[in-house]
Structure 1
Amino acid sequence: MLETSRLILRQWEAKDRTPFAALNADPDVMRFFPAQLQQTESDNLAARFQEGIAVRGWGFWAVELKKTHQFVGCVGLHPQPDKFHFSPCTEIGWRLAKDYWHQGLALEAAEACLTFAFGELALSEVVSFTSVLNKPSEGLMIRLGMNKTEEFLHPALPSDHRLAQHVLYRLCR
């Protein structure tokens, strides 16, 4: 578990499934993903995140507000051993419900994750990537001090897909 002044990043709980599914079904939240997720797909994703944390002790954590214990989304770290030409690597990512955008919460949670990555895990580098169209996430990468190193075609998408072209950012310890 990680804590910031306003947030708790923790293991997933059954109560997170419904708000996580709502977030994953929201067309605004998912506009830079290939598709919105159905309840079962969202539940499966939460289960994979939960399992990753159980196995490694870290991953994409559920994020809640300290004050109200309201679920706001997920932020965390994920190993990418072989999916990309720049693998192996550890990625940092985030997905928050739109009610919690523009409040600095993603930045706050991501900073805690980077502190964990470089301190506790002693990683030498963390990467982040997104579609070139996703300027809000790219802006967060820049605010985190990450540096753009390249653009690439996401291997899971057809090369002519509107989201195929991605930016890659890196941050070294």
Structure 2
Amino acid sequence: MKTTSHLFTSSHLGFRTWLESDLEAFSQMNVDPEIMKYFEKPLSIEESQAMMDRMNRMFDDKGYCYFAVDLLATGELLGMIGLGWKTFEAEFTPCVDIGWRIRKEFWNKGFTTEGAKRCLEYAKEIGLQEVLSLASSDNKASIRVMQKIGMDYWLDFDHPDLKKSKHLNPCSLYRIKL
């Protein structure tokens, strides 16, 4: 078990910025077709590294990101859960978004909901007043998490960055006031 300094924790999860040692597990997750079903495409190892780097820069700049999340009991990388800054062109942007992507072996165990709830608490702690979340309208599992963490349905929209991935539109947008 690796010892890591977490920024904050929940009952089972530790949230932190990204480390070089996360790349192998993160990139394996990002090439899995089942995990990436509701994303444009699987990510190469270079794209996974670039995402980790972007998240660390976002944390330095904004105080939040899609955090690397460890299972506290084992120190294993569960995946990512956290907050992002969205600037694509839409009536509701720029905005703070909550999102997640976790390894399959951790699905259906309540970790995503637990982690998302803790990230909403963190968002409130750092002074955010509203958080949105979006997913392909077909992504029932993510939409269930949004509902479980107290978010309300707002609207469906066609994501402008997903025009080439018609199977991902429309997207459902949820929001919560903190």
Where do residues 28-39 of structure 1 align in structure 2 (5 Å cutoff)?
A: 28-39=34-45
Q: Unpaired segments of 5 or more residues in structure 2?
A: 1-6
1:135 equivalent in structure 2? 140
Two-structure CA RMSD over aligned residues (Å): 1.3
Where do residues 1-173 of structure 1 align in structure 2 (5 Å cutoff)?
A: 1-81=7-87, 83-118=89-124, 120-158=125-163, 161-173=166-178
**TM-score, structure 2 as length reference:** 0.92
Q: Deviations over 1:12-41 (max 9, x none)?
A: 111111100000000110001111111111
Counterpart CA distance in 2 for 1:105 and 1:16 is 19
- CA spacing shift, 1:82–1:162, aligned 2, 3 Å: closer
Counterpart CA distance in 2 for 1:165 and 1:45 is 24
Counterpart CA distance in 2 for 1:114 and 1:158 is 30
Q: Percent identity?
A: 34
Amino acid across the alignment from 1:26: D
Counterpart CA distance in 2 for 1:105 and 1:78 is 19
Report if the CA contact (8 A) 2:96-2:130 is conserved. Answer: yes
**TM-score, structure 1 as length reference:** 0.95
Q: Unpaired segments of 5 or more residues in structure 1?
A: none
Counterpart CA distance in 1 for 2:25 and 2:18 is 12
Report if the CA contact (8 A) 1:153-1:159 is conserved. Answer: no
Give the SS at the match of 1:110. helix
- Matched pairs, number: 172
Amino acid across the alignment from 2:65: G
